[in-house]
Structure 1
Amino acid sequence: MSNQECGGWRLSEQEEEEDEDDEKDEEPKVCQVCGDRATGYHFNAMTCEGCKGFFRRAMKRPVKFSCPFQNACLITKSNRRQCQACRLRKCKEIGMLKELIMSDEEVEKRRRLIKVKRTQLEPVILTPQQEGIIQELLEAQRKTFDLTFSCFKQFRPIDRTLAPMVMHVPPDSGFGGSDDCPSSSSSSSLSSDEVGRNDRKFSMLPHVADLSTYMIQQIIDFAKILPSFRELAIEDQISLLKGATFEVCQIRFNMLFNEKTGKWECGPLTYCMDDAARAGFQRHLLDPLMKFHYTLRNLQLNESEYVLMQAMSLFSPDRPGVMQHAVVDRLQETFALTLKTYIDTQRMSPEKHLLYPRIMACLTEMRTMNEEYTKQLLQIQDIQPDVTPLMMEVVRKDI
């Protein structure tokens, strides 16, 4: 059955708003129920907003109305509330139909669709609040991440005399070693006799421990600059830092990763994955970690995208020990929405819609590596005493 029947319109609520706009350009219409100014066709009849709402409510109620007189009341604008029975009778007489009333679920669904359509039509822009968030993160980053690595001269020296425990070159990486990170297939692993002679002493562990401690301190300083972080309970601050330090550290190091050479260029110093192997870390961590750095670096993120990614990692509500779960969840959602909006407004590539989910995939991948890092660091600590107290405080959940 069509929406036009017997020369009249049968309209559902889904069509009313469009018709109301058309009515504004025509001469005023009169409500066929009470004589008030009509706003359009509602439930198949020309009515005012008052009678439209009355009919909807009356049809949804189980109560039956009764007229105190002779069921012949004259309904006008001034007395339409005095006799509900006669008002409802008049509604039905002019052709208002119950079946055109949308259910509450349908109304809510329609409202959501309208909201989505309006959002799609509106241009996507960074709000002043989002721009402020980005600037706040960038300032905190620049105050706490020394790209020149001038302080590295204070660390215990690099010692690459010991061959790496394992080789860590992912397939098709294009990286086969370097002068700064000497390794060869013949010396890619230590025999049990060599391990015994060296007493499992990992040559790069002292320097890597100093490097890691330095990075942890910078990340703590980064978090403390952010007002949203400082406002959290101290217990939650500790839980978030313990959970995110490894991940934020890797995001920062990725900014220095040269995907052509497979090395991290840190000011005057250069590192490769074999250095981590010389510090005692094993391939269960280093192989996926190397793949992660190639994957993330190939996304070609800029500084704003990197710091927003760090903030999303830091403000993770599901870290062990977090109490203000809802607060942290809202903060993470704010950073995530800011990142997505930034990508939508600043990226010009036709494939920009793929960038946000790829960043999310990298964040998810780091969660698995985070657990393996904790496991391996605790194993290294059992063998060598060079792991610093701050490193252990981060990974031990009982501290």
Structure 2
Amino acid sequence: MGPPIPLHRSQARPQHSQPIQSPWVELTPRDSVLTASKSGRRRSQESEEGVVSLGGKADLHYCAVCHDYASGYHYGVWSCEGCKAFFKRSIQGHNDYICPATNQCTIDKNRRKSCQACRLRKCCEVGMTKCGMRKEHGNYRNSKTRRLTRLSSQSRANGPKPLTGPVEGLLNELQPPALTPEQLIERIMEAEPPEIYLMKDMRRPLTEANVMMSLTNLADKELVHMISWAKKIPGFVELSLLDQVHLLECCWLEVLMIGLMWRSVDHPGKLIFSPDLSLSREEGSCVQGFLEIFDMLIAATSRVRELKLQREEYVCLKAMILLNSNMCLSSSEGSEELQSRSKLLRLLDAVTDALVWAIAKTGLTFRQQYTRLAHLLMLLSHIRHVSNKGMDHLHCMKMKNMVPLYDLLLEMLDAHIMHSSRLPRRTPQEESAEQKEVPALPPGSGSGPSNTWTPSSAGGGAEPQ
């Protein structure tokens, strides 16, 4: 299992020798007993640190991390001076270590310095915590941290005034909550949207207008659920609203396509768009220009079937599609944008670690794990290629006025085209001239102008009927 993955922000707990005097904190008799009990345990831990130096061989303890001789009880476990100092440096400074292998390096007395990432992971696994950190006299960083934490407590007492700037960043680094890869996968699986039904009988023989009407109807329903799905991914709503919008605008068709492939994996030669709508190659050929895209989707689905894709791997790949679509993000360098970009990269790293964990639990050898990871990641490039083809086709159908587009689907299509460098952005005069040339659609087609959507507005609405 990989190292705990910090995904959410929470308020750090200050480390003080004396309790913070706050107007909203009053100790009850029970709190006094708990405080006295904690003080007794702290004195007991400090007295245990001298056991090794004062006792004989019978009192020897070994480091829980590297199994060298322990020098004392540090950060909640018996540890040597080397691992104690390493853990102290990690929690007080930058700890964005990266394992060059598979996050499963052996950490012992001789190899503890070979991989910082796995050493820190093992420190956490054996129970080393910041809560076991003793007061460091004369430490400027700790005194600064205490001042910031005190400021945070006062802010909460005075009212809901969020901290901004470097103060917030330092507070976030103090004690970030953590999800293990297994817990992260469970949360992403719980976020999966329900099955969407067309709720309409397809008349045979199929016509181009009939098929496209049904597909766009389904896509519009799925987009509403997609926004809710994205907001349930741990850490996504902590990104800036601009980044949330851009990520969804850039990847929505890829997300729809990987879901289509997952539903169709047990139905060779068919695409299962919904439980009540499936198309064979012959049926899909009635739509002009759709056959090439259909064949590409069938080929990609066959590859998924060959790889025997597991559900845990599928949900990780789907989340990676969302988080890795940052080619469309703005390049502004404001502090808020940079902070959001940093959160996005950490979240993407966390999902990648979860995918590695899901592959490792299958019992494959290291070499087989590397190969499978490469094959799964190569699927993403195929999906993006098919998505680009599909986007061009949908845009072409829109320009020819061959099918009505629903409000949300139309908004997402226009946003993706605007972000893409494949088509130049048109001026208002050009758009006005085009509207005069293209005949109007019948009323109720859903292709009229719509308000700009946001995850908060679209995700918070009622579910489609």
TM-score (norm 1): 0.54
Match of 1:223 in 2: 230
Question: Matched residues in 2 for 1:227 and 1:258: separation?
Answer: 28
Task: Report the secondary structure of 1:152's partner residue.
Answer: coil
Q: Would you say the 8 A contact 1:247–1:366 is kept in 2?
A: yes
User: Aligned residues, how many?
Assistant: 245
Q: Which amino acid aligns with 1:315?
A: L
Question: Matched residues in 2 for 1:371 and 1:237: separation?
Answer: 21
Match of 2:255 in 1: 248
Q: CA deviation at 1:255?
A: 2.2
Q: Would you say the 8 A contact 1:140–1:225 is kept in 2?
A: yes
**Are 2:419 and 1:365 equivalent residues in the alignment?**
no
Q: Which amino acid aligns with 2:190?
A: E
1:376 aligned to 388, 393, 397, which one?
Answer: 393
RMSD: 3.4
CA-to-partner distance for each residue in 1:115-170, whole Å, 9 max, x for gaps?
Answer: 17967x98xx9x952222111101111xx222xx4x421x4x4244247xxxxxxx
Match of 1:395 in 2: 413
1:1-399 equivalent positions in 2, closer than 5 A? 114-115=114-115, 129-141=180-192, 144-146=193-195, 149=196, 151-153=197-199, 155=200, 157-162=201-206, 202-259=209-266, 261-265=268-272, 266-316=274-324, 318-322=326-330, 323=337, 324-344=340-360, 346-350=361-365, 351-383=368-400, 384-397=402-415, 398=418
Q: Identity rate of aligned residues, in percent?
A: 19
CA-to-partner distance for each residue in 1:202-256, whole Å, 9 max, x for gaps?
Answer: 3311111111112222211101223411112222111111111111112222222
Cα pair distance change 1:372/1:387, threshold 3 Å: same
* Stretch moving more, 368-377 or 250-259: 250-259
* Stretch moving more, 215-224 or 348-357: 348-357
Q: Would you say the 8 A contact 1:316–1:332 is kept in 2?
A: yes
Question: Matched residues in 2 for 1:135 and 1:389: separation?
Answer: 33
Question: Matched residues in 2 for 1:217 and 1:332: separation?
Answer: 23
Cα pair distance change 1:287/1:267, threshold 3 Å: closer
Q: CA deviation at 1:274?
A: 4.5
Q: Which has the higher contact order (CA 8 A, sep 6+)?
A: 2
Question: Matched residues in 1 for 2:308 and 2:194: separation?
Answer: 19
Question: Matched residues in 1 for 2:239 and 2:118: separation?
Answer: 35
Cα pair distance change 1:355/1:145, threshold 3 Å: farther
* Stretch moving more, 357-366 or 288-297: 288-297
Task: Report the secondary structure of 2:115's partner residue.
Answer: helix
Structure 1: which 5+ runs fail to align? Answer: 1-24, 26-110, 164-200
Which structure is larger by alpha-carbon Rg, 1 or 2? 1
* Stretch moving more, 376-385 or 306-315: 376-385
TM-score (norm 2): 0.47
* Stretch moving more, 274-283 or 334-343: 274-283
Question: Matched residues in 2 for 1:251 and 1:112: separation?
Answer: 41
